A and B are shown apart, each in its own frame.
Chain A
Amino acid sequence: MTDTVTQRTRREAETISRVVVRFAGDSGDGMQLTGDRFTSASAIFGNDLMTFPDYPAEIRAPAGTVNGVSSFQVHISDHDITTPGDAPSVLVAMNAAALKADLNRLEPHGLLIVNSDSFEARDLEKAGYTSNPLEDGSLDGYRLVQIPMTSLTQGAAEPLGVKPRDAERSKNFFALGLISWLYSRPTDPTLEWIDKRFKDLVKESNRAAFLAGYNFAETTELFEHPYQVAPAHMPPGEYTNISGNVALAWGIVAAGQLAKLPVFLGSYPITPASDILHELSKHKHFGVRTLQAEDEIAAAGMALGAAFAGHLGVTTTSGPGVALKSETISLAVSLELPLLVVDIQRGGPSTGLPTKTEAADLNIAMFGRHGEAPLPIVAASSPADCFQAVIEAARIALKYRTPVIFLSDGYIANGAEPWKLPDLDSLPDISVPFQTEFNHQAADGTMEYWPYLRDPETLARPWAIPGTPGLMHRIGGIEKQDGTGNISYAPDNHEKMVHLRADKVRAIQADIPPVEVRGDQDADLCILGWGSTWAAIDAAVQQAGREGRPVAWVHLTHLNPLPADLGDVLRRFRTVLVPELNMGQLCRIVRAEYLIDAVSISKVQGLPFSANELLAKIREHHS
């Protein structure tokens, strides 16, 4: 059956280098699923791609309203890309509300495919339209294609015995079939997936809708011809399509293996971090224990308890959870135990924009604890980057016996991109030995164990876990004497300990790579980025170069400590721009740290930067 479909695609496909498609519909319309399947088919086809799911916080906002619109944007390309695209060239709007919500994103003269069945008076009213946009000429600037997707889907599914109301639910597959033809996607992967995922009548209905959409596009003259996006010239290797949260979860599994330690995850459900808990809870055969705690505080406490007992303790959350865990993280600073705290940032403060992205937790990561409580911070730059970046965070936590905050964000977490699988043998050994012997000779000659006797190079204290004969010891949040670990309120000792904890974190500078300057080394202008801005900066820097505007670019993985040479590198440039999805948090740190006149580019709309926004700033500062 599928072969027949493929062979019937007779009209010659026009080859284009890239396309950005946005699927928009009601929250219940399955737009995320549709986008995800289109992405997978494109990945298997060999395109480079980047996705951007965009959905409301409400699980089911009132149907048919603008608030309930859920969208999925995917950028597919025959060349290396990093962003989900600024403006979609194709918008598929499954109802009037989706059109209303997302039309402003569509590029001029873009292809606009609407489900004309969802533009009845009631639909228009719920969407807030006073006149029908399909009839009033307001869409004249676009290539409008109206298709009665609901009724065509029902027509395809009804002969199978599917009730019209149930058949309607398959209309997202009709849209998927339509777009699959339009962009010459292979059909087999999607059909195989439908067969695996669904059962009985639902399966049949979805298959019928998908094929009906495909055939409809092929048969009717609504589209001149299909398009073809050739596979990208990517470095040879084996690839998979991966989202940030899955890459992060797999990175944690890998970190456990590389550390030769069981993983213990304590976590409390929170958007957009819950998927890490879901993913890790599947992998118990890797020795991964996951515990859904009673609250955020307990989740951190359990992970810390597990670390005390000799596991790789991990807790995953988002901003509000970091606030709640703050006291426990401070305890981990004082206990000097390894603890990995993962923060998938979202719009704040408070509940803020739980499903939208923001990178405004750098301040809480740096400073959000009582007392002098420094800790290392590592940030991921892209979905696939989460894998190796979280291994790096675990490495630092274990080697220096310190809590580490790992920053990702909603955009990285839910976005997906092709990932060239790493050579497993090339991954670092991050294992550290437990203390098993006495380490100090008392004045009377007897040997004893001092829990705070430091490694002179790393300043890390020994890690002796319960069950080790002879090394019984007590640790706690009260200030302790360096060396013995005994409670001490001595003024000089406290000052010494405060400095030691800071020195230990700073010493990590010697253990992280120097700054890598990308782009044009000799440019006057340098962009300093961190986190998910990587994608937009990359696209903007490339475009600026093509326009004859050389730009250098430094992107940080380690945010604390900063690379030792960062100040010297930044001082080489006349202008340093720091784009951030916050009010300039890194910018303030580098200004304070290096006394350079760095300029903040701030965006806090719950959305990532577009390449064009950054390009405009580059043009503005380029003279």
Chain B
Amino acid sequence: MNTPVALTTKKDWMSDQEVRWCPGCGDYGILQAVQQLMPDVGVSPENTVFISGIGCSSRFPYYMNTYGMHSIHGRAPAIATGVAVARPDLDVWVVTGDGDALSIGGNHFIHALRRNVNLTILLFNNRIYGLTKGQYSPTSEAGKVTKSTPFGSLDHPFNPLSVALGAEASFVARTHDLDRKHMMEIFRAAHDHRGASFVEIYQNCNVFNDAAFEEVTGRKVREEMMIDLKHGQPIRFGADGHKGVVMGTDGQLRIVNVADVGEDAILVHDAHREDPGLAMALARLSHSDHESTPFGIFRSIERPDYGTMVGAQLAQVFQQKGPGDLGALLRSNGTWTVAAN
């Protein structure tokens, strides 16, 4: 870790494989953002590992000139846990989707966050199953009409951020595929955070769920619909910051006109607060794609990462007992000797 990292360019992080997502897919923008960011994060390609599950987004590792594994549906966080715990020296990324992480792989997702394994988890949320050609996902809105729900989905969706916060995640953020600068800023912070970092990326599937986030992230509505969270700053948005978020005496967050309540009443964002209550409230501020929705870093707290703790415990036992001695181990339950006759 202490050896200087050779300078790289974006090209050094691009594999020789042709990128094969559908033309117009939001995944291209995310790949661009990651490849453009990597030369600046201070690691070398050989010490970087991308692990994915199954789904359109999970093709991601093939396009990165790093070590990588395209694994099985939902299991990327578990496999990546093995990599990161075995080798805390590596920079391990998980690329997953809403079906991969929140449906078939829900269990591994929450436990990787709970253990605070040193992973940077990028969840491409397009609210649809793309690879299997258009079934509803665990983040699809209720009533969604898809191939598998011709009369509308009856499922209540997950809010990925509140799942992550409920799972004790130490870093939780949201960005979207149309803003490369914002993505790079968030990915950079997620990467620099030691422990499990979770980033939900609103990602457009232009084939099976086009414009799912258009009412929030569309260029024309963005200013009024996206709430940019900055640690230590009042939560304001809209033209000239005329709107803001306040916490009522009932503990509920509400969107108000700043002019109505005065600047001092506006809630100041605190991403470093140990208690996840505020982050949770912000994560649940918006319940549909017609409401103003927060983006940025909801929560970022310090907590020892799992791989480092495992290594420290090994070192501690080594300190106490000395290096393992196989001969002594085999004799540890007592022995007796049968003499030659």
Contacts and interface: CB of A to CB of B under 8 A. Distances in A.
Interface of A: 40, 43-44, 46, 231, 233-242, 246, 250, 253-254, 257, 262, 264, 266, 283-287, 289, 291, 293-295, 297-298, 301-311, 313, 327-328, 331, 335, 420-422, 424, 466-478, 486-487
A208 B44 CA distance: 67
Nearest to A327: B72
Interface string B72-86: 100100111111111
Given A254-B326, A264-B82, A283-B324, A236 B69 contact: no
A327 B321 CA distance: 39
20 contacts: A46-B338, A236-B339, A285-B317, A289-B85, A291-B81, A293-B78, A297-B75, A301-B79, A305-B78, A309-B90, A311-B86, A313-B82, A467-B47, A472-B46, A472-B66, A473-B67, A473-B68, A474-B70, A476-B61, A486-B17
Given A284-B313, A309-B82, A469-B46, 6 more contacts: A46-B338, A240-B336, A306-B82, A311-B86, A331-B72, A474-B67
Contacts of A239: 335-338
B237 interface: no
B247 interface: no
B259 to A, nearest CB: 50
Given A283-B324, A308-B83, A253 B329 contact: yes
B230 interface: no
B108 interface: yes
A284 B65 contact: no
With a 10 A CB-CB cut-off, give which of A46, A264, A327, A466 has the most chain B CB atoms: A466
Interface string B176-193: 000000000000000000
B78 A302 contact: yes
A477 B330 contact: no
Interface string B40-59: 00001111111100100000
A301 B69 contact: no
B111 interface: yes
B107 A287 contact: no
B71 interface: yes
A430 to B, nearest CB: 14
B87 A310 contact: yes
Nearest to B324: A286
B68 A305 contact: no
A interface, over-half SS: mixed
Contact of A285 (B61, B70, B318): B318
Contacts of B82: 264, 266, 291, 301-309, 313
B1 to A, nearest CB: 11
A298 B85 CA distance: 13
Contacts of B335: 238-240, 421
Given A46-B338, A287-B324, A471-B46, A476 B69 contact: yes
B323 A285 contact: yes
Which of A44, A231, A476 has the most B CB atoms < 10 Å from its CB? A476
B333 A477 contact: no
Given A283-B324, A309-B87, A310-B87, A238 B69 contact: no
Nearest to A240: B335
Nearest to A294: B111
Contacts of A308: 67, 69, 79, 82-83
Interface in B72-114: 72, 75, 78-87, 89-90, 107-108, 111
A467 B90 contact: yes
Contact of A328 (B54, B66, B75, B87): B75
B150 interface: no
A233 to B, nearest CB: 7
B22 interface: no
Contacts of A283: 324, 329
Contact of A253 (B47, B83, B322, B324): B324
Given A301-B79, A467-B46, A476-B62, A284 B86 contact: no
A287 B49 CA distance: 23
Give the interface size bracket for B toward A.
35 or more
Interface in B155-188: none
B61 A474 contact: yes
Contacts of A309: 49, 82-83, 86-87, 90
Contacts of B329: 250, 253, 283, 286
B163 to A, nearest CB: 15
B80 A305 contact: yes
Interface in B14-63: 15, 17, 44-51, 54, 61-62
B81 A284 contact: no
Nearest to A474: B68
Given A253-B326, A466-B67, A472-B66, A328 B72 contact: yes
Nearest to A307: B82
Q: Which of B78, B87, B340 has the most CB of A within 10 A?
A: B78
A476 B78 contact: no
B87 A240 contact: no
A291 to B, nearest CB: 6
B314 interface: yes
A246 B331 CA distance: 12
Of the listed residues B317, B318, B330, the one surrounded by the most CB atoms of chain A closer than 10 A to its CB is B330
B248 interface: no
A423 B45 CA distance: 44
A538 to B, nearest CB: 20
B107 A294 contact: yes
Nearest to A282: B317
Contacts of B17: 474, 486-487
B321 A285 contact: yes
Given A285-B321, A286-B324, A298-B81, A472 B45 contact: yes
B341 interface: yes
A466 B54 CA distance: 22
Given A237-B338, A284-B314, A301 B83 contact: no
A528 to B, nearest CB: 32
B330 A421 contact: yes
Contact of A424 (B67, B326, B333, B339): B326
A298 B108 contact: yes
A298 B107 contact: yes
Nearest to B315: A284
A167 B60 CA distance: 66
A452 B82 CA distance: 22
B86 A262 contact: yes
A466 to B, nearest CB: 4
Nearest to B89: A467
Contacts of A307: 82
A479 B95 CA distance: 20
B4 interface: no
B221 interface: no
Interface in B298-341: 310, 313-314, 317-318, 320-324, 326-327, 329-331, 333-341
A306 B83 contact: yes
A40 B86 contact: no
Contacts of B71: 301, 331, 476-477
Contacts of B45: 472
B51 A240 contact: no
B333 A466 contact: no
Nearest to B60: A474
A474 B58 CA distance: 12
A174 B336 CA distance: 26
B70 A477 contact: yes
A530 to B, nearest CB: 26
Residue among A254, A264, A301 with most chain B CB within 10 A: A301
A605 B339 CA distance: 41
A238 B313 contact: no
B49 A466 contact: yes
Contacts of A238: 331, 335-337
Closest 5 CB pairs of A and B: A305-B82, A476-B70, A286-B324, A301-B78, A302-B82
B311 to A, nearest CB: 8
A311 B331 CA distance: 26
Nearest to A286: B324
A424 B327 contact: yes
